[in-house]
Amino acid sequence: MAIPTLFLVSLIVFGLQKLLPGDPLLTMAGEERDPAVIEFLREKYRLNDPFYMQYLYWVRDVLTGDFGNSLRTGVPVSTLIAQKLPVTIQLAVMAMIFALLIGIPTGIMSAVKKGKAPDYAANAIALSGVSIPNFWLGIILIMVVSVQWRLLPASGYVPLTEDPIQSLRTMLMPSFVLATALGAYLMRHTRSAMLGVLSSDYIRTAKAKGLMPRVVVLKHALRNALMPIVTLTTLLFGELLAGAVLTEQVFTIPGFGKLIVDAVFTRDYAVVQGVVLCTAVGFIFMNLLADILYILINPRLRHPQ
Amino acid sequence: MKKLIISLLAGVAFSSAASATDFRIGLQEDPDVLDPHKARTFVGRIVFTSLCDKLVDVNSKLEFVPQLATEWSWSNENKTLTFKLRDDALFHDGTPFNAEAAKANLDRARTEPDSLRKSELASVDSVEVVDEYTVALNLKQADATLLAQLSDRAGMMLSPATFSGEVATNPVCSGPYKFASRVQNDRITLEKFAEYRDADDYHFDRLVFRPIPDSTVRLANLRSGDIDMLERLNPSDAESVRGDTNLQFMPVAGLGYQGLTINVGENPRASGPLNKDKRVRQALQLAIGRDIINEVVGHGLFEPAQQPFPPASPFNSEKFPLVERDVEKAKALLKEAGHESVAFELTFGNNTTSSATNELIQAMAKEAGFEISLKPMEFAAMQQEMQAANHEATQIGWSGRVDPDGNIHQFVTCKGALNDSKYCNEEVDKLLNAARATPDVEERKQLYDQAQAILMDELPIIYIYHQPWPFVASNKVSGFEPSPDGMVRLKGVKLEN
């Protein structure tokens, strides 16, 4: 399944890019429009060839491991991906951890205390988490935490391997900002899944057996409610791998989001293609991971009837 | 094992202590290729200023001053330009700079198929090594713009030994700082070149250029101490920066302009009254209050422009004073041209400042009878439309060049590469071509004045304001002098701890 999916994705992205108005070389030339140079580069990057030939050349190069070079900076796309992928993964993992820490406990609590004050409070927080725009929250956090209190760096990225503490400090605010919206989604889904499970017969039986409420909720109910949460988590994680454009822009984090948006604006075709392909692979991998997690959580899936 | 951990920790501690002499500059965009012969962007030139020395430099009064060349002279009826080179310059790979190296660079810039310096050096016929430290440029015809070109990327010198390597991603030049590393969209790091001849005047061990496109965020980073200086402050932040005692505000009028480029050619989109009738364009100019734009959108930073040449330039002529806003006169002109009201579409690249500017133009022009419909566009798409003459009028700018030719020739000559007005007037072509070949400033100014007299009447471009370069630095920075070309020259600049 994976191969045809990737093929289709790359074909669609390639096609969409060609539909975009704007000439990559004219854009690249900017204020230095020398017709002879533009024509030379057009030939060099095969932009005079028909659409399908350009695509086939690209596929051939990718199959031999060559993703091409960025039109704008001349850097190989594979180098760019190698530079940005760790950043994006780190941001995604940290944001997901925050989101799970926020979303699941509040979701459980609001399901258990349905219709009471904690439920309303959790709902209000979830609603604001979804409604507050990331870039706004990001700028406010920079103003307060970095400019006023001087607690955390305002922007940038330090590789984990270079200085782990500083790396975590720079990523703290952006991953928190990303996590607010994700955590809210997770909270809503946890709540509804838990509500469904909590009203089922076996939970009543468990309660009737005299089990402690904590055991009923965490052991019996949560495990069954986890299935939709796992689906959502893996999908959200896959989305995070595509980069978080606004958050990366505000905190100037050199991840996939900024890379691909800049590439689209400058019509840097090779970069867009390479990054989308890489993201698609990530997404497919996350789907696979979801399937494996289902089996781990739900023993009934382990032995097909 | 324990010892290893301790030494590693010590290493981390030491490296962060050494970073005390970093100087971090926030840029508005990420530069493009770092090969000076193929580079295109303005921000790229800011990086090159510390990385790659040039034959000559310009000072804040736009005069040429020695850099790799100590002196220069014209001979042979202005068809030979001879440079005496300094004998103590080294490239970052340790090889010496000399006349052979200068020739190799100029030849590379003139011949590489994707060199963007070819047109800048088009007048050069051959480069001749006279002796070890003298190089002569033989020209096809006199070229008054050449020295200005050589004060920019066309005059930057790479180590010829590295031509065959990856110049774009690892440039080896001869400036005070050498290339260390780059992470696209994140940072470009340069390290001090210890063997530089004036190394004692450069006080930082490392330079870090950080592209931070959002101007609010760029300023927040300066305020939080994550960067030491930024370029291009958003004018709307000017007030708050002026009132901040931790910051120094250092704006300078630049070399470029913002203006309205009107399609006046022979093409389907140039059929409206604005495009066909110069009186309508004159009326539009009268309807626009440049000082109002400066006050409202520019917060005092948008110096009104009547001419393409910056106020600091000797070619900015007193013969063309600013046309003040006069709605009654504009209405009268429109009536004379036979119109009660004129409608047209004004395209612009979509960003906050240009939206505000164009909405203001729309409102002011309405009072004189213009019905402007605004069309914000993404920049890449807009460029293509302009090139294809598929626009009625566009608000766009030019970052400006040291030599006046760069601000006018390619925009209004019939075959100019950036002539998006599609304007064509043989008389103007003749005057501007003559000005190119006239090194004498007074004579040259006469020619520009004559050309401007025609252009001010026909108005293919209405200049609105001179683009400022608003620098902001932390008040720990001392010794920085902003210059009209918008570059950051770090000689003598210090950072207090």
- Choose among B35, B224, B383: nearest Cβ to A146: B224
Is residue B468 within 8 A of residue B233, CB to CB? The reply is no
> Could you give the CA distance from residue A261 to residue A277 in angstroms, rounded to a whole number?
15
Cβ–Cβ below 8 Å for B186 and A156: yes
Q: Crossing angle of helices B426-436/B441-458, nearest 10°? A: 160
What string of H, E and C letters represents the secondary structure of A202-224? HHHHHHHCCCCHHHHHHHHHHHH
From first CA to last CA, the distance across chain A in angstroms is: 24
Q: What is the CATH number of domain B254-468?
A: 3.10.105.10
- Give B263: exposed, middle or buried? Use CB within 10 Å, 0-12, 13-18, 19+: buried
Q: Determine the pLDDT at residue B35.
A: 95
Residues spanned by CATH 3.10.105.10 within chain B?
254-468
Q: Determine the pLDDT at residue B20.
A: 55
Residues spanned by CATH 3.40.190.10 within chain B?
14-33+170-252+469-495
Cβ–Cβ below 8 Å for B220 and A34: no
Q: If DSSP codes are grouped into helix, strand and coil, which group holds residue A250?
A: helix
- Choose among B213, B217, B379: nearest Cβ to A142: B217
Residue with tokens 């040259």: B444
Residues spanned by CATH 3.90.76.10 within chain B?
48-162
Q: Which two tokens stand for residue B497?
A: 């701890």
- Choose among A73, A153, A265: nearest Cβ to B380: A265
Question: Cβ atoms within 10 A of the Cβ of A198, count?
Answer: 21
> Which of B118, B184, B382 has the highest number of chain A CBs within 10 A, making it the mutation to test binding with A?
B184
Give A180-234 pLDDT, tens digit per residue. Answer: 999 999 999 999 999 999 999 999 898 888 888 888 888 889 988 888 899 899 9
Topology adopted by domain B48-162 = Dipeptide-binding Protein; domain 1 (3.90.76)
B114 at interface of A, judged by CB pairs closer than 8 A: yes
Residue type, A52: Y
* CA-based nearest residue in chain B for residue A263: B185
User: Nearest Cα to B248, choosing from B222, B214, B226, B224?
Assistant: B222
Q: Determine the pLDDT at residue B250.
A: 95
Annotate A107-141 with b (16+ C-beta within 10 A) or e (fewer).
bbbbbbeeeeeebeebbebbeebeeeebbebbbeb
> Could you give the CA distance from residue B94 to residue A218 in angstroms, rounded to a whole number?
68
What is the enclosing helix (H) or strand (E) of B393? strand B393-398
B341 at interface of A, judged by CB pairs closer than 8 A: no
Q: Which two tokens stand for residue B126?
A: 């051959």
Cβ–Cβ below 8 Å for B381 and A21: yes
B chain contacts of residue A33, beta-carbon cutoff 8 Å: 387, 417-418
Min Cα–Cα distance to chain B from A115, Å: 42
Residue A159 — φ and ψ, nearest 5°? -60, 145
Q: Crossing angle of helices A2-19/A269-297, nearest 10°? A: 150
Residue A60's contacts (CB-CB under 8 Å, 6 or more residues apart) are: none
Cβ–Cβ below 8 Å for B212 and A155: yes
Q: Which two tokens stand for residue A204?
A: 């009543």
Cβ–Cβ below 8 Å for B30 and A262: yes
Min Cα–Cα distance to chain A from B330, Å: 33
Is residue A74 within 8 A of residue A68, CB to CB? The reply is no
Cβ–Cβ below 8 Å for A22 and B378: yes
Please give the ipTM for the structure prediction. Answer: 0.82
Report in angstroms the alpha-carbon separations of B101 from A181, B72, B89: 58, 17, 11
User: Nearest Cα to A141, choosing from A251, A258, A257?
Assistant: A251
Is residue B52 within 8 A of residue B173, CB to CB? The reply is yes
B chain contacts of residue A272, beta-carbon cutoff 8 Å: none
Residue B497's contacts (CB-CB under 8 Å, 6 or more residues apart) are: B20, B476
In this prediction, the residues of chain A whose per-residue pLDDT falls under 50 are: none
> Would you list the domain boundaries of chain A?
2-63, 87-302
In total, the C-beta contacts within 8 angstroms joining chain A to chain B are 136
Residue B413's contacts (CB-CB under 8 Å, 6 or more residues apart) are: B419, B428, B429, B432, B433
Residue with tokens 């999916």: A5
Is residue A12 within 8 A of residue A272, CB to CB? The reply is no
DSSP classification of residue B152 = T
B387 at interface of A, judged by CB pairs closer than 8 A: yes
- Give B63: exposed, middle or buried? Use CB within 10 Å, 0-12, 13-18, 19+: exposed
CATH 1.10.3720.10 fits A87-302, yes or no: yes
In order along its 497 residues, chain B shows pLDDT tens digits of 444 444 444 444 444 434 458 999 999 989 989 999 999 888 999 999 999 999 999 988 888 999 999 999 999 999 999 999 999 999 999 999 999 999 999 999 999 988 989 989 999 999 999 999 999 999 999 999 999 999 999 999 999 999 999 999 999 999 999 999 998 889 999 999 999 999 999 999 999 999 998 888 999 999 999 999 999 999 999 999 999 999 999 999 899 999 999 999 999 999 999 999 999 999 999 999 999 999 999 999 999 999 999 988 889 999 999 999 999 999 999 999 999 999 999 999 988 889 999 999 999 999 999 999 999 998 888 888 898 899 999 999 998 999 999 999 999 999 998 899 999 999 999 999 999 999 889 999 999 999 999 999 999 999 999 989 999 999 999 999 999 999 999 999 999 87
What is the enclosing helix (H) or strand (E) of A299? none
> Could you give the CA distance from residue B349 to residue B396 in angstroms, rounded to a whole number?
7
Which B residues, 224 through 253, put their C-beta within 8 Å of a C-beta on chain A?
A: 224-226
Domain B14-33+170-252+469-495 homologous superfamily, CATH: Periplasmic binding protein-like II (3.40.190.10)
| B232 alpha-carbon distance from chain centroid | 12
| A144 alpha-carbon distance from chain centroid | 26
Residue B118 — φ and ψ, nearest 5°? -55, -50
Is residue B302 within 8 A of residue B294, CB to CB? The reply is yes
Q: Which two tokens stand for residue A27?
A: 């854009």
Question: Cβ atoms within 10 A of the Cβ of B376, count?
Answer: 14
Cβ–Cβ below 8 Å for B114 and A30: no
Q: Determine the pLDDT at residue B351.
A: 84
> Could you give the CA distance from residue A292 to residue A303 in angstroms, rounded to a whole number?
13
